[in-house]
Amino acid sequence: MSIRDQIIQRFIARTQKSQALTERAKRVLPGGDTRSGVYYLPYPAYMVEGSGSRLTDIDGNVYFDLLANYTSLVHGHAHPQILAAAQAVLPSGGVFAAPMQKQVELAELICARVPSVETMRFTTSGSEGTQMALRAARAYTGRSGVLKMLGSYHGSHDLASATADPDADRGIPEGLRRNIFYVPYNDLPATDAMLTAHGHEIAALIVEPVPNAGGLPLAHAGYLQGLRDLCNKHDVLLVFDEVVTLRLHEGGYQAQTGVLPDLTAMGKIIGGGFAVGAFGGKREIMQNFDPTRKNSIGHSGTFNGHSVTMAAGLESLKLLSQAEIDRINALGERLGRGFDDAFAEAGIRGRTTYVGSLVQVHWRTGDINNMGDVAAGFAQAGDLPYLLHLELMNRGVYSAARGEYCTTTAMHEADIDRAIAIFSDTLHYLKPYVAQVNEALIA
Ligand SMILES: Cc1ncc(COP(=O)(O)O)c(C=O)c1O
């Protein structure tokens, strides 16, 4: 049996209950799926329990979780203090059609920590966070256009998920697509040229300061300040999508770099594991949402600022001191370096990019400047990323099928070293298949 078939067969043998549940799900969920980012072939394993850095699937297989619900569970699963905070709220109801004190407390904490956020509003997802930040920018400038990075992802609403590819964008209105402009990440001259030509139509430039969802190309020295300067020069608002990168520093990546956007979209870690999002920034821009003002913009949401989410988020952020962030950033860097060494030692031309607690595996070597470079690695790797992911699961390590990993405060150096050893063994096992798929990937 080929290595490929062995991996898939072993996965299927270990996950029989997940397979049965997938068949049942297919009757009511298209293809059995309700969240594209967690789907992979032959079918995803259903998870039933999380505790710290461990995840258990419905068949009883246990995994070391290097995905943490796509970076949101920065303290791992079911952290006792976060659980207690959420449970303390539940007996009194948790959500009312009224403002609730916990919203004020969490907003105060976030505004104190994130330097450019003077005032903010809560949403129920990061997608709504970017949606409303862009709405705020368009309302403030009176322009409709948005400038995005090619290959970026900012959530599931039309403007955020649009790409420059008409096939991928089926269902997104043509009128909206015409208002979206694209430049490659890390390319200041292209950005300057685009803003020179179209700045008068563009309300905002939106960027993940380091595009985790785009495969983690790292910002060149001076790039983010360059974007800030170009936005000033062309009178366009700068929006940072810090839905993920907020975990890199107590005040988000903006605090680490000192480059301050006009508006920030947030999510994931600020909800302590519950559905959350937020947007905020300069008071002058955000005051368009002040209901006491004439012509204020309405922004509702039945579950915005749910007290359970707010309580869990407050506890989660209080636990996430700069010292703890420094510790998980060091763990992330250890993981990234370890994976790089494993590629070199196995004689496979792969590499990682990493920043703090975020790590991405690439099936290529050389510079990775933007999402095009990330995609080029995946294009030459065929099904290798998918098989690596599946075999890591067979060996008890959970990650994203697209090669994304993160560390959490529930982890220690020994856990990271064990994961690196498993990764290294998996690469050795895969090597003959790598040679078959693409000889050029063998060093
Ligand atoms: C960079 C970025 N922005 C926005 C979002 C959307 O957040 P949500 O899934 O909470 O809607 C995500 C989700 O993964 C993300 O990675």
Structural domains present in the chain = 3-74+321-441 (3.90.1150.10), 80-319 (3.40.640.10)
| Residues 6+ away with beta carbon under 8 Å from 92 | none
Contacts of residues 100-103 at CB distance under 8 Å and 24 or more positions apart, as own/partner, are: 100/305, 100/307, 100/310, 102/305, 102/307, 102/310, 102/311, 102/314, 103/305, 103/307, 103/310
Q: Give the phi and the psi of residue 84 in degrees, each rounded to 5.
A: -60, -40
User: Which residue out of 241, 262, 340, 373 is catalytically annotated?
Assistant: 241
Ligand 1 binding residues, C-beta < 6 A: 70, 125-127, 130, 153-156, 208, 213, 241, 243-244, 267, 277
The helix (run of H) or strand (run of E) holding residue 277 is: strand 277-281
pLDDT value at residue 307: 97
| Residues 6+ away with beta carbon under 8 Å from 158 | 172, 173, 176
Tokens standing for residue 153: 């992802």
Probe target for ligand 1 pocket from 74, 128, 154, with the most ligand atoms within 8 Å of CB: 154
pLDDT value at residue 65: 98
pLDDT value at residue 293: 96
Query: What's the CA gap between 229 and 281, in Å, rounded?
Result: 18
pLDDT value at residue 249: 98
Quick one: what percent of the chain has pLDDT higher than 70?
A: 100
| Distance between Cα 213 and ligand 1 center (Å) | 8
pTM score over 0.85: yes
Query: What's the CA gap between 396 and 418, in Å, rounded?
Result: 11
Query: What's the CA gap between 92 and 423, in Å, rounded?
Result: 46
pLDDT value at residue 140: 98
Other C-beta atoms closer than 10 Å to the C-beta of 372 total 15
| Distance between Cα 265 and ligand 1 center (Å) | 9
pLDDT value at residue 250: 98
Which ligand 1 atom is nearest residue 268's CA? 10
Distance set, CA 387 to CA 127, 197, 234 (Å)? 30, 44, 46
Probe target for ligand 1 pocket from 34, 128, 153, with the most ligand atoms within 8 Å of CB: 153
Three-state secondary structure call for residue 155: coil
Nearest residue CA, atom 7 of ligand 1? 126
How do beta strands 202-207 and 237-241 pair?
A: parallel
The predicted-structure confidence for 322-340, as pLDDT tens digits, reads as follows 999 999 999 999 999 999 9
pLDDT value at residue 355: 98
pLDDT value at residue 306: 98
CB 403 within 8 A of CB 354: no
pLDDT value at residue 244: 98
| Distance between Cα 125 and ligand 1 center (Å) | 7
Ranges in the chain, pLDDT < 50 = none
pLDDT value at residue 417: 98
Which ligand 1 atom is nearest residue 125's CA? 10
Q: What is the mean pLDDT of the chain?
A: 97
| Distance between Cα 160 and ligand 1 center (Å) | 9
Tell me whether residue 241 is one of the annotated catalytic residues.
Answer: yes
How do beta strands 397-398 and 62-65 pair?
A: parallel
Distance set, CA 79 to CA 61, 409, 410 (Å)? 21, 10, 9
Q: Give the phi and the psi of residue 30 in degrees, each rounded to 5.
A: -55, 120
